[in-house]
Amino acid sequence: MLTGHHLIAGRETTTRHSPFQAVNPAANQLMEPHFSEATAAEADEALRAADGAFDALRTAPVETRAAFLETLAEEILTLGDALLERAHAETALPMARLTGERGRAVNQCKMFAQLIREGSWAEAAIDRALPDRQPLPKPDVRRVLQPIGPVVVFGASNFPFAIGVVGTDSVCALAAGCPVVVKAHPAHPGTCEMLSRAVLTALQKNGLPQGCFSMLHGRGHEIGTELVRHPLTQAVAFTGSLRGGRALMDVAAARPHPIPVYAEMGSVNPVFVLPGALKERAAKMAEAYIGSVTMGVGQFCTNPAMVLGVKSPELGEFVKTAGELAAKVAPQTMLHRGICETYEAGTAVWHTVSGIKLAGQSAAAPDHDATQAACRIFHTRLDVLQANEELQREVFGPCSIVAESDDMESILDFARGLEGQLTAAIHGTPDDLREHAALIRILERKAGRIIFNGFGTGIEPCPSMHHGGPYPAASHSFFTSIGTGSIYRFVRPVCYQGFPDDCLPEALQNANPRGIMRLLDGSLSRDPAV
């Protein structure tokens, strides 16, 4: 049974301050129960509980933390169809999509359990003492990554499981040993409550303090601001809009002691179609392109919102085919009314720009009462795209612009001026890549992930994945929000000099009891430091 309560260190609380309800976007109906805005006092309680639980969590045996993550995976599955049905009602995401995303969340828990059990991720480094070294003796110096403390997580509207309460941000922070306070997403608060109870149950079953996790509701910006500026918060993870991410960054920077905000804020994810690929498979490329644009009703931060190519009959075929395929796409319900209204407003602005035309759109009209959006593909010249900044901004939804240039050099010039991107894609042949290597060099400076003959939609959570990019795609291009590398956002190096062996963290002890890979006197080794 959903209560609509905040969950603070296992305690249910509500002030019924500024109550609100979730809305079923497909039916445009309010859903029970009522939720409420968390107060500054509740934010303070949650973060004090997190700080109080920090030492117990970070010093707990690695096996205990790993078992907790595996128990969490089981608890997510134990929620069964009720979780899927609530998420479907709150987001309109298809049941098949939600089932797959639940699997991703479960697998992420297991992936991080495996990571911390293996242990080498902590980058233990040991330089043993040389007391007889001349002219000065060398001290014993050892370093390892340590958790930073309470982390505040803001989940995404479009991934209620995989980038939410039990998403990568929360799971990797807990795996590192950092307590978590989640700001529940107001578009799917019931889903957030169900998943939060799963986290608390998993903590209890593994003997870890309930203070390791809290979840607060809120529809406005006030509670998020309180969480970020609270002096006990040590880092923030956010997935959402540039405006929202930047606002949190500014709050964090204005603190007496600034903290990092790891914000993933989206991009236009440019796609470059090269001549060889167009000659070989223009129609097939257009089909894959429309599939990517409309996947999840275009509600992905890696949606291909911009395609660039040199004017040719083959590019004309690509545009024509894309327009015809767009007409066959039925309008679909978006996540919530706010996203749908922003989509309509954004594409309406594109219509007003001189020199851009509609190449194709869904033949059926969208049902606005059902929060539906139509697919829209636009066609223009590169100089029009360059001259109008509004065409270069992300519009979240199933839309995209194809821009043609007279020559490749103009495209390279445009690429040099791009802002930071999460992804960039190149469609071509191996010969195209060799001939246009300059494009790759440019994109290496602009994007976090470069895809050959594919699209950015569809992310594989794995150790080699990097989901981030230069600002404004993300707040810090060094870090990823997907994959095992995401754990490095919530740790920092601590150096120990001259410590007795039994007073060192386990990863730095001479015997290497867990057999992890360490940098021992400059060489990677699992050997004891004897």
Instruction: State the Cα–Cα distance between residues 168 and 190, nearest whole angstrom.
Output: 20
> How far is Cα of residue 162 from the mean position of the Cα atoms in its chain?
9
For residue 152, give both structure tokens: 């505040």
- Residue 345 CB coordination number (10 Å): 10
Q: Which of 172, 212, 301, 399 is catalytic?
A: 301
Contact indicator for 170, 153 with CB cutoff of 8 Å: yes
Contact indicator for 206, 70 with CB cutoff of 8 Å: no
Q: Which helix (H) or strand (E) holds 265?
A: none
Burial string for 68-91 (b: 16+ CB within 10 Å, else e) reads bbbbbbebbeebeeebbebbbbbb
The residues near 311 (Cβ < 8 Å, ≥ 6 apart) are: 404, 405, 406
Task: Look up 90 and say whether it is catalytic.
Answer: no
Task: Look up 462 and say whether it is catalytic.
Answer: no
Estimate the crossing angle of helix 80-91 against helix 189-205, to 10 degrees. Answer: 150
The torsion angles phi and psi of 130, rounded to 5 degrees, stand at -125, 85
For residue 292, give both structure tokens: 């990517």
The residues near 230 (Cβ < 8 Å, ≥ 6 apart) are: 43, 44, 47
Residue 317 is given by DSSP the state: H
Instruction: State the Cα–Cα distance between residues 311 and 330, nearest whole angstrom.
Output: 30
Among candidate residues 169, 160, 163, 215, the one with its CA nearest the CA of residue 187: 160
Q: Which of 264, 314, 394, 404 is catalytic?
A: 264
The CA dihedral of 242, 246, 248, 250, to the nearest 10 degrees, is: -170
Among candidate residues 247, 256, 252, 397, the one with its CA nearest the CA of residue 329: 397
Instruction: State the Cα–Cα distance between residues 184 and 5, nearest whole angstrom.
Output: 11
Left (φ > 0), alpha (ψ -120 to 50) or beta: where does 414 sit? Answer: alpha
Instruction: State the Cα–Cα distance between residues 138 and 229, nearest whole angstrom.
Output: 42
- Residue 420 CB coordination number (10 Å): 18
> Could you give the count of Cα atoms lying within 13 Å of 27 in the half-sphere of its Cβ?
9
Instruction: State the Cα–Cα distance between residues 250 and 142, nearest whole angstrom.
Output: 35
Q: Is 114 exposed, middle or buried (0-12, 13-18, 19+ CB in 10 A)?
A: middle
For residue 373, give both structure tokens: 């959006």
Contact indicator for 192, 155 with CB cutoff of 8 Å: yes
Indicate which residues carry an active-site annotation: 264, 301
